[in-house]
Amino acid sequence: MSGIKRWWWLLVVLLIATAAVLWVNRPRAVTVDVLIAQHEDVQTSVVASGRVLAPSRVDIGATITARVQHVAVREGARVAEGELLVRLEQGELAAALAQARAARDRARSRVDSVAKLALPTAREAQTQAELNANIAEREYQRARELLAQGFISQSRVDEAERQMQIARSQLASAKTQVAAQSAPGAEAQQARQQLAEAEAAVQVAQARLAQSEIRAPAAGVVLERTIEPGDIAQPAKRMMTLALDGPTRLIVQVDEKNLPLLTLGRGATAAADAFPNERFEALIAYISPGVDAARGTVELRLDIPNPPAFLKSDMTVSIDAPGPVIKQAVIVPAEAIRQLQSEAPFVLLARVGVAARVPVRTGMQTQGRVHVVQGVSAGDAVILTREVQADARVKTRRK
């Protein structure tokens, strides 16, 4: 029994020695910066970057193929509505218009000729034919009477009848001519139709000639010019780009989590990155009904009631839109939340000298601060030091 007791004592001594070694060699506690979470009323705001949106950008091109004769404007030029931008060669188009006008004049002359010459002539011929037909009928009746009295032969009567038939045929032909030359007649209708076709051809030629002069659709500024005299203009080939005048707007992308802070008509302060000290007012005019799934952002458009003179299209800007006040919220720095943009964000809390990993649910984010909806309570020591890992021994240092 004495031998067994000795072994038990040796085992106890060995365990105590091992524990002492482990205690001496245990990891030292890491000094970490902590923030004691508190409830506070927070004035929220949404900060985002975007750019100046041109009211309307228009690509200018030709609708016909022709050589460029003259370019009237350069980049940066301000143009008025209807101002000449580019003139194409017009020789062939002008000749086609002259030819169409000549054909129209001929068609118009024919209409006048039918109404003022052919119709009166046809009516005269009808009157003469009616007289001749009456005379021929009387001659025929007289010949029949003389035949009955035995004064002339049957051949004379036959000749008188033939002359009467000829006169009647001539009268019918004259009436047909009058009908054809009158307003509802075929000749008059054909002449008017030819005149209408000729006038349409003139309009087509005028339109094509007008297409050789490319003018500004509205007042604006020339952003880019890509054509020079002597180049060949073709349909669908861009010649220049205009930024049309209109209300100046900003377009920005904000995190979808900030949607509860945004309302239409809410004011915001904006500044161009090139002029950070020149701030100006903007108003939220549009909130996209959809969310960009790839980036998790929502598009905003803001009106600028009094745009400063230095703003230019596509200039980078920053906005700060104040939101509602959140009462008694737990707000921590964004740097304290690990994997903030993931589906499982968490924080490290200092609990009894150990860094404890605690999952959290976050709300709005503003100016580098995050509203923690669940997971952190007032009084918790939130570890700010990024180098420390979960379950590490820590000594806290309030920041």
Please spell the DSSP secondary structure of 290-347, one letter per residue.
S-BTTTTEEEEEEE-SS--TT--TT-EEEEEEEEEEEEEEEEEEGGGSBTTTSSS-EE
Task: Break the chain into its structural domains and give their ranges.
Answer: 27-42+327-398, 47-54+246-325, 57-89+215-244, 92-210
C-alpha span between 307 and 52 (Å, rounded)? 11
Beta-carbon neighbour count of residue 241 at 10 Å?
18
**Residue 82: which residues within 8 A CB-CB, separation 6 or more?**
215, 216
Measured N-to-C along each axis, helices 186-210 and 91-113 cross at an angle, to the nearest 10 degrees, of 160
Given a contact cutoff of 8 angstroms between Cβ atoms, the answer to whether 8 and 281 are in contact is no
The CATH H-level superfamily of 47-54+246-325 is Efflux pump adaptor protein, beta barrel domain (2.40.30.170)
Q: What is the pLDDT along the chain (399 residues), one digit of tens a residue?
A: 455 666 666 666 666 656 554 444 455 777 888 888 888 887 777 888 999 986 778 899 998 999 999 999 999 899 999 999 999 999 988 999 899 899 888 888 777 766 666 667 767 777 787 788 788 788 878 888 877 787 788 888 788 788 888 878 887 776 777 676 666 656 667 777 888 888 898 899 999 999 999 999 999 889 889 999 999 999 989 999 998 887 888 999 988 888 888 889 889 999 999 999 999 999 999 999 988 888 888 999 999 988 898 888 789 999 988 877 878 888 888 888 888 878 889 988 888 888 899 999 987 776 678 888 888 888 888 888 888 888 888 888 887
How far apart CA 196 and CA 193 sit, in angstroms, is 5
Judge if 47-54+246-325 and 92-210 fold alike in CATH terms: no
CB atoms within 10 A of CB 359: 12
Sheet with 30-36, edge to edge strand ranges? 354-359, 346-351, 381-383, 30-36, 394-398
- Mapping DSSP onto H, E and C, the string for 135-191 reads HHHHHHHHHHHHHHHCCCCHHHHHHHHHHHHHHHHHHHHHHHHHHHHCCCCHHHHHH
The topology under which CATH files domain 92-210 is Helix Hairpins (1.10.287)
CATH fold group of domain 27-42+327-398: 2.40.420
Q: Is it true that domain 57-89+215-244 has CATH number 3.40.50.10490?
A: no
The pLDDT assigned to 301 comes to 92
